[in-house]
Every structure is written in structure tokens, then in C-alpha cells.
Amino acid sequence: MNRNQSTSPDTEQRKGEDEFTRFFSFRGMITPYLIKIIYPIGIIVILIEAIVIPKQMFLLSAQMKVIMFLLIFAGGNIGWRIVCEGMILLYSIHEILASMERNLKQK
């Protein structure tokens, strides 16, 4: 049986109230969702910086500017990805621990 078919509208409304309550009691975290939105914005900022920074270095040759662009772009994106994944990992651990706590309280 499909999960959506087995829940009644009353159950869905109570679930919504639970989420509303969890949000305002700080039990529901919104940061993991924000990280997923902010990640692409960070990539765009890194791309812009990778273009702007080498252009400001007048003494560098064209080849060095290209190498600098590639290093900033690749290194920046790898570093940004690691930071975002680390934050998502911490919140995932929190969600797992919270679900374990709920399961233990139900038993």
C-alpha cells in the first residue's frame, strides 16, 4: 500500500502541527535545507572570485592567470563542498540521534 494512500487528512494535519511545533521549539532544524540552497550560491561566488582575483594581478602572465583561475576555482569548490558536506553530516547525525531518542521513548 502506498504511504500517501494510507494516511488520512487528519493524520496529515497533525503531522503538519507537529512540524510547526518542532520548528518553533527548535527541534526541527532548517539549516540543512538552507545549506542546500546556499551551496550553489557559494559556487557562483567562487567562480566570480576566480575570475576577478587573477585579473587584478597585473604583473602575472596570461598563463599564470589561467593557472591561478583554475586553482582558485577547483580548490574553492572542493573546499566549499567539504564545508557544506560537513555541516550536513553534523545535522544528519543530530536527526538520527533525535529519531533514536523518539524510538526509545516509545518503547
At residue 60, the pLDDT reads 85
Q: What is the pLDDT of residues 2-61, one digit of tens each?
A: 444 444 444 444 455 577 777 777 777 788 889 989 999 999 999 999 999 988 888 889
Distance of CA 90 to the CA centre of its chain: 11
- The grid coordinates listed for 43 are 559556487
Question: Within a 13 Å sphere around the CA of 6, how many CA atoms are in the beta-carbon half?
Answer: 3
Number of neighbours of residue 18 by Cβ within 10 angstroms: 12
At residue 16, the pLDDT reads 53
Distance of CA 11 to the CA centre of its chain: 29
- The structure's pTM equals 0.69
Helices (H), the chain: 3-6, 9-24, 31-56, 62-106
